[in-house]
Amino acid sequence: MRRSRLPIWITVGAMVFFYLPIAILVVNSFNASRFGTGWQGFSLRWYAQLLHEPEIWLAARNSLLIAVGATALSVVLGTAAAFALHRFGRSRLQRFHYALVYMPLVVPEILMGISLLMAFAATGVGLGLGTIFLAHVTFCVSFVAMTVLARLQDFDDAVVEAARDLGAGWRVTFRRVVLPMIAPGIAAGALLAFTLSIDDFVITFFVAGPGSTTLPIRIYSMIKFGSPPLINALSSILLLVTFTAVILSQRISSPRR
């Protein structure tokens, strides 16, 4: 049966499409030229200059702090939510719960950003790192919950019965059987939450207030008002970090055979 090669060509084309801009960015980060319009020789000066930008380090530190904190809290809330949705899924409470957890995944970020801004403004809460933290937890909870929930749905309930059949009470069963089996799912959720938090711009932009900056906000102002080569260098570093994180996450979460 003769199959059209068209789909394959489109696929290859799509892959090129994905990576071309990134490739050009990385290449340009080593470009000695200021304007990126012509190759003027290999140079590391932009990376060197990055090291002397204290504002960038401050922003990076803030991003990291918030990401770690938001991940920790959202993992706790999200895992509990996933358990509730899995165990009690039929009830009306859980159907409302599911809708509530699902919504942040589909609404555009700008809506979440502006609604939180309104809420903070109306209650007189000062904008800063604290409000950023609260906002990040809010959208991370949904992602963690959905990730863990997907894992729970693959869970073989007979295994829990087997543990009880062999003499283990609820506590031992949870500790020795359930937790180790869902740990990869929780880890995957945590990694997802961490990445989303580090990367978030729109929601953070709305609730950050004048004083505090995170890495994405810094990048944004650099894009608007700063020098392109610096952004290239910073972006390349971030790409490397992300790349490593993705490889790690593939190793951690056991692939389903």
Partner 1 sequence: MNEFLEFKGVSKRFGSNQAVTDVSLQIRKGEVFSLLGPSGCGKTTMLRLAAGFERPDTGRVLLDGEDITDLPPEKRKLNTIFQSYALFPHMTVRENIAFGLRVAKRPKSEIDDEVDRMLRLIRMADQAAKKPDLLSGGQKQRVAIARALVNRPRVLLLDEPLAALDLKLRQRMLIELDMIHDEVGITFLYVTHDQGEAMGLSDRIAVMDSGRIEQVGTPVEIYEAPRTSFVAAFIGDTNFLEGEVTGLEDTEYSRLEIAGVPDIVCFNDKAIGPGQPVFLSIRPEKIHISRDKPEAARLRNMLPAVVEDVIYLGSTTKYWVRAGEIRIQILRQHSRFFLDEKPIRWNDEVWVWWHGDDGFMLERYREVDEDLLAVPPRKVGESDGGNGR
Partner 2 sequence: MKAGARKRAAEWLASGPSLLWLCLFFLVPTLLVFVLAFRPATPFGGIGAGWTLANIRRLADPAMLTVARRTLEISLATTFICLVLAVPVGYTLARISAKWRNFFLMLVIIPFWTNFLIRVFAWKTLLHPEGPIKQVLVFLGLVPSGASLLYRPEAVVLVSVYAFLPFTILPIYAAAEKFDFRLMEAARDLGARPFAAFRKVFLPGIRRGLVTAVLFVFIPALGSYIIPDIVGGPGGEMIGNKIAQRVFVDRNLPLASALSVVLILSVLAPLVAILFLQRRGEGPEIL
Contact of 53 with 229, CB cutoff 8 Å: no
| Nearest by Cα to 229 from 72, 28, 63 | 28
Contact of 135 with 116, CB cutoff 8 Å: yes
| Nearest by Cα to 230 from 75, 5, 56 | 56
Residue from the set 35, 119, 161, 243 that interacts with partner 1 by CB under 8 A: 161
Q: Is 253 in the site for partner 2 (CB under 8 A)?
A: no
Tally Cβ neighbours within 10 Å of residue 136: 26
Q: Tell me if residue 19 falls in helix, strand or coil.
A: helix
Q: How far is the CB of 43 from partner 1 (least distance, A)?
A: 50
User: Which residues between 84 and 103 bind partner 2 (CB under 8 A)?
Assistant: 84-85, 87-88, 91, 93-94, 97, 100-103
Partner from partner 2, partner 1, none contacting 227, C-beta within 5 to 8 A by type: none
Nearer to partner 1, 112 or 163 (CB): 163
Q: Is 208 in the site for partner 2 (CB under 8 A)?
A: no
Rounded CA-CA distance 230/237 in Å is 11
User: Which residues between 173 and 192 bind partner 1 (CB under 8 A)?
Assistant: 176-177, 180-181
Which residues of this protein are in contact with partner 1, per CB under 8 A?
156, 158-159, 161-169, 172, 176-177, 180-181, 257
